[in-house]
Structures are given as structure tokens and as C-alpha cells.
Structure 1
């Protein structure tokens, strides 16, 4: 495999499991230095150890903007630069109707999926602008386009990720920094433990390929978006939904 990321440095949030872990692993395999950001200290250490290479594991709550800024400075100090940011950290929240949805759960989903992602984009963008190069990939969801019933907070938060991506992509369009999002259909990861079986069955029923996506398929798309090859797409949304997406 061509070492597309030789000499590059990346941050992957939610990098201790799921799509984030597979993306961090592949970036490292292709030559990048990678900082894995995730909430659980033990899982971060395990992930960094398993991936190997020059991988830095950082236990961080991305809903704390000061912690995000400190971790960004740490990555710059360690690697000398940040070329790639992949924002994969997220939560689903409970599966309930909008009128039954607890206010505290709504706030928590937005704190992680929107505010935390915003803090990460905000912290890294000025550094990339200064270097006149960067790749930001935000993980949204097909739910952000279509709205899944009984997942109002998750759907609304992922719609916000799409809009933020488009806004920031336009702001950085002449700087050498691209900002794109992917919108996966359901991928069988640890996040499934946050969902009801009824909701999992609903998501599968909507996918024409009649299967869930894999973390490897998502990481392949993310890594292309994070590469120099992806130079004329920004503020864009790339579907990876097994045929579910209609626009």
C-alpha cells in the first residue's frame, strides 16, 4: 500500500473504537503519526498500544473546549503539525419519540455530537490555515439527511454537523484546507449497545443492500477525504449508505 500519509500528522476523535479506531489504524499503517482522542483512559491506552507506531493516546472529554485546545497544542508539540482531523466521536442517545425525549439527554447528544465537534474544528482550523494545508473530515449520518424516527436528537445533531461542515468548508475554501463530511448508514459498532433492537431492525430495513456497513468501508472513504488526492471537494457530503441515500 502506498504510504499516502508519510510525514503527515492526524487527530482522530473517538479513536479508541469503531470507525475512529479503524481510521486511526489505517492512517498509521499508511505512514501518519496519529493522536487518538477518546473519553476512556484505559481504552485509549489499549487502542494506542494495539495500533503502535508513533501513536499518542489522549483521554479527553471533547465537550470541554479548554481540554480540546490543550490537546491540540499537545499534538502540535509532539508532531510539529496537524494535517488531518477526523471527528468520529459521537453518541446516539435513547430511542424515544420527540415528546418523550428527556431534555437532559437531548442536551448531552448535542454537547458531544455538535458542540464537541465544533470545538475540535475550531481549535485545529487556524493551525491548518497558517500552514496552508489541512484535511478535516466530520462523521455525520444518513439520519442527518432523512431523520430517523425515535432518534430526534441524534438526527438533528447530525444535520447540524452537515451544516457546520458546509459553512466551514466555504470559509476555508481558498486556504488549502478542505472540510468534508460522510453520512454513513448504520455500521455495526459498540454504538449499537445504545440502541433498541427495534431501532436497529428499522435501520437495516432501510438499506437496499440489506446489510450494515463496515468500519473498514468507512475508514477507506475517510482516508481518501483525508489525503492529498482529495483536493477539489470541500463543504461536501459523501454518502456511504448501501443505497439508502436519495440525495
Structure 2
């Protein structure tokens, strides 16, 4: 039986402002990518999400990013390797405090936004993320795009390298994500997202933006928490996967 992890970006608010329906999504997903304060998130939000995740048996992951609250972590930045490694470690450590207080632990690391895309090919920035994970005193698995430099370096460093796919993002013919500033980068039609989820989980394939069939072998499937109607969409995806014989569970 095929199996897949469902993850979502959570805790993406700041102060009185909230973006994601954390309560709703934590009733559906198996892994939670929690914003650690650099692109979104604050101590109160981080604590709340960790407590709810722990109560529901959802795995907690540190979603690390460039220091870019104003740009939601989606602006390209050039950060020196040593500085980025320290900032990655800092974010993991901050979330670990709240995870432990909730009776859980941080279980994995996933870059966010511009950093996520940068480490697909950038050796130095990918190395900085891996260095930051190790600097935090952990040997946590790292989520990333299949074939990315990040996952290659993570594996070489003895960390788990978990390939991830996106049901609600358009793919290029090369298996990378279409940049968000291009038309059609985000798949908006709910039924299309559900069908793409099933294809990714059962056959490891997805249609690219040109219509080509692209192989995307992944152990985790991301559903963006800031998508309109994200909770209902996540429920539909999980129900379709289960009905089709796909086991939905956190990655090992």
C-alpha cells in the first residue's frame, strides 16, 4: 500500500495578525511546518501551535527562512554562510523550547519561501542550512525538493533527506516549481489539487505547466496553509487518498 505524509505551513501570523487556520489544519495534516519568527510567527503563536500539534499527535517541524518579516520570506537575499547557519540554528532552537514544553520535540526542518528555492541549486546556501541543523545539536531530517542540492548535502551529512511534493503548485518540465510571480504558479482549482495529490502519492507523477508528465517521487505532500479554503481542501485531499488506498501517515 502506498503511503504519504501530509504537511502544511502553520503558525504564519504575527501578533494580532493571523494567516493560517492552524486549529483546522492540525485536524487533518500529519506534519506541521511551524514558522519560527523570521518570515512569520511569534512566541505565543509558536507555543499555541506546538501545544495543539502535540495534543493531536501531529509531528512538529521547524520552518526556517531568511530574516524577512516584511516580505514573508519570499524575497531573494544574499546571506553569508556563517550567518545563515547561525540563524537556522537559532530558529530551530526557539521552536524546540515550545515543542518540549508541549511534551513533544522538533522532528524535522524545512526551509521556507526564497530559501527553499535557493537551496535547490545553491551549494553555499544549501550547505548553510545543513550546517545550521547540525549547529542546533540535532540530526533532524530535512524536507526539500527531489534532486535538490539541499537533500544531497543533508544525506552526505548523515541527516535524513525527505523528498517533498506540492499538490497546489505548478511544476516545470524539469521538476522544479514555477516561480510564484508567473501566471498559473498556484493551482487554484480544488478538484485539480485533489487529483494531483492522488497522482503524486500513488504513481509519483504530476503534469507540468506545459502538460508533460513529470516524475516527482516524494515521501511528503505539502498543502499551503495560506491557500483560500485550505482546511476544506486538505480534508478533501486526505479523504480521496484514503478512499484510493493510500495510507496517510507521518514519514518515518
Is the pair's TM-score, using the shorter chain for normalization, greater than 0.5? Answer: no
More helix by share: 1
TM-score (norm 2): 0.38
TM-score (norm 1): 0.39
